[in-house]
Amino acid sequence: MAKQSNKDESKVLEVHQLTKRFGGLTALDKVDIYVKKSEILGLIGPNGSGKTTLFNCVTGRYKPDGGKIIFKDEDVTHKKPSEMAKLGISRSFQITRSFNELTVFENMLISQRHKDEGIISTSYTGFDNKVKKRADELLKFVDVYELRDHKAEEISFGQKKLLELGCALMQDPAMVMLDEPTAGVNPTLINKITDHILKANKKFGTTFLIIEHNMDVIMGISQRMYVLASGEILMEGSPKEVQNDPRVLEAYFGD
């Protein structure tokens, strides 16, 4: 008789009782969240509520002071950022981090998921045609193919946001973590970015965990949401439930 597995394959990420302190400040206080495979999960909260700190703990940039992080059924609580990337987490930052001296196409190429080799060694040995083809396909997918041969420093901030999404998808990730993907972007590009997130989720089954201050955006694309306030989970629910909860209004606007 086959032994039954205790693994929950519907969950790609589980965070249990996660705690992070900076001196006397508790930025995260026993936070519990999970992300289901192929869902778009929104994470909202007032400034200083701990959202980016949570991202940094999950991706290995910060070492938690307590709790556990499980990714694809593996305890990754003390993994380094490079190890998390190899396991299949890709992320963006509030400020875009493209390689400005490289072309848009070259940025895509070096964003592939690196297993045993590093970025520098791969750059010297070259990229195979399969990688190049995927880069071109994703540039078309995020609507920046016409900028393929431009240096990243020559394109607009909004176009860099689209490039960053393409680079994240280039890694064939198990989960993409986006930190303020529409911040500082004009309405036309906001619509493009949100459309591409929805299309990637539908076409590739990409799992997203998204921090976003634009309530119209996050309410429109999330399938489920968490609200953080003062380092604690205030609530979890559907966008409609979150929008109508008086605790959320109080957290944002006070009494």
Using 50, 70 and 90 to split pLDDT, how confident is the model at 99? confident
Mean pLDDT of 33-46: 96
pLDDT of 130-163, one tens digit each? 899 999 999 999 999 999 999 999 999 889 999 9
The fraction of the chain above a pLDDT of 90, given in percent, is: 71
Identify the DSSP state of 145. G
Q: Which residue has the higher pLDDT, 93 or 172?
A: 172
Cite the DSSP H helix spans in the chain. 51-58, 81-87, 104-109, 119-125, 129-141, 157-170, 187-204, 215-221, 239-243, 246-253
* Structural domains in the chain plus CATH codes: 11-253 (3.40.50.300)
Indicate if the pLDDT at residue 57 is higher than 80: yes
In the numeric block, the tokens 């703990």 are attached to 57
Indicate if the pLDDT at residue 18 is higher than 70: yes
Q: What is the pLDDT of residue 27?
A: 97
β 25-36/175-179 pair status: unpaired
Query: Other C-beta atoms within 10 Å of 53: how many?
Result: 21
In the numeric block, the tokens 């490039």 are attached to 163
Mean pLDDT of 100-126: 67
Using 50, 70 and 90 to split pLDDT, how confident is the model at 124? very low
Contact 135, 154 (CB under 8 A): no
Q: What is the pLDDT of residue 20?
A: 98
The fraction of the chain above a pLDDT of 70, given in percent, is: 87
pLDDT of 202-237, one tens digit each? 999 999 999 999 999 999 999 999 999 999 999 999
Indicate if the pLDDT at residue 33 is higher than 80: yes
Q: What is the pLDDT of residue 250?
A: 85
Mean pLDDT of 194-199: 96
Q: What is the pLDDT of residue 126?
A: 56
- On average, the pLDDT of the chain sits at 88
